[in-house]
Amino acid sequence: MADIKTVGVIGAGQMGSGIAHVCALAGYDVFLHDLSQERIDAGVATIEHNLARQVGRGLIDDAAMKTTLGRIRPAADLALIGQTDLAIEAATENEEIKKTIFRSLQPHLKAGTLLASNTSSISITRLASTTDRPERFIGLHFMNPVPLMKLVEVIRGIATDGATYEQAVTFARSLGKTTTNAEDFPAFIVNRVLVPMINEAIYTLYEGVGTVESIDTAMKLGANHPMGPLELGDFIGLDTVLSIMNVLYEGLADSKYRPCPLLVKYVEAGWLGRKTERGFYDYRGEVPVPTR
């Protein structure tokens, strides 16, 4: 297989911009795509901000920051993504949206392009089935925030061939990441364990066992977690938490994965966490304040 030299990233949000960041920093030429130029520009601005933070911490120098930014090319036309060696989809956690992206990308793909999804819970086999190359389709689940987190889950669909898997692992490791193999079951490894814990913390709040503050304090000091589960849910995005719980509940048909009604209510209210400035905490002031 040809070496990966160019990477296309579809989605310039929190995950997509992070993936573009680490790929460019590792020496790959990156094409960044989203639905509008405004979104692409916002993604590039996020990358520049996060690179500046790395410079400030002494992790990279100014020259590396400048070189990295020079490797990132806005790609308003999806056709540009199809000409890269590896195309990574990093859109919102919605199966139909992801399938639509791969169908739209299909006519523009060159013969050798490797396809990957950054999905955190959705079947790689089902996503791959919408393409003409399921044997060259892989799951690359980066953790958030991508520049800081060391892990990438690598997930094979039923049709993914061995060479694709090995190439994906080599690529992820070239970014300085540690890889772990996960089988293609709902939510894979990390979110299969982590998100039900967040959902259970929401049930604990819903049932009045503890307040937002007491639950997060208990888990930080009692279980040595760096962030409380409700705070973590806000950081991930409560819509994403709900989406993953629904994937688990529908995919495994087990009542223990039923989303908490309070989680559903927060999402219905548009209180999705940090990105909307309100979730289990209100982030509109100088200090986050519990909303319950």
Q: Using CA atoms, how far apart are residues 87 and 115, in angstroms rounded to an integer?
A: 5
Q: Using CA atoms, how far apart are residues 182 and 261, in angstroms rounded to an integer?
A: 29
Q: Which residue has the tokens 């962030």?
A: 227
User: Do 84 and 31 meet the contact criterion of CB atoms below 8 Å apart?
Assistant: yes
User: Do 92 and 16 meet the contact criterion of CB atoms below 8 Å apart?
Assistant: no
HSE-CB at 243 with a 13 A cutoff on CA atoms is 16
Which one of the listed residues 21, 141, 231, 243 is annotated catalytic?
141
Q: Catalytic: 141?
A: yes
Q: Catalytic: 183?
A: no
Which one of the listed residues 89, 93, 153, 231 is annotated catalytic?
153
Q: Using CA atoms, how far apart are residues 73 and 81, in angstroms rounded to an integer?
A: 11
Which one of the listed residues 17, 50, 118, 120 is annotated catalytic?
120
DSSP code string of 24-63: HHTT-EEEEE-SSHHHHHHHHHHHHHHHHHHHHTTSS-HH
Q: Catalytic: 94?
A: no
Q: Catalytic: 48?
A: no
Q: Using CA atoms, how far apart are residues 163 and 171, in angstroms rounded to an integer?
A: 12
HSE-CB at 59 with a 13 A cutoff on CA atoms is 12
Total H helices, total E strands in the chain:
12, 10
- Which tokens in the block code for residue 211? 């307040």
Backbone φ and ψ for 81, nearest 5 degrees, come out as -65, -35
Which one of the listed residues 17, 50, 191, 243 is annotated catalytic?
191
Q: Is 40 exposed, middle or buried (0-12, 13-18, 19+ CB in 10 A)?
A: buried
Which are the catalytic amino acids? 120, 141, 153, 191
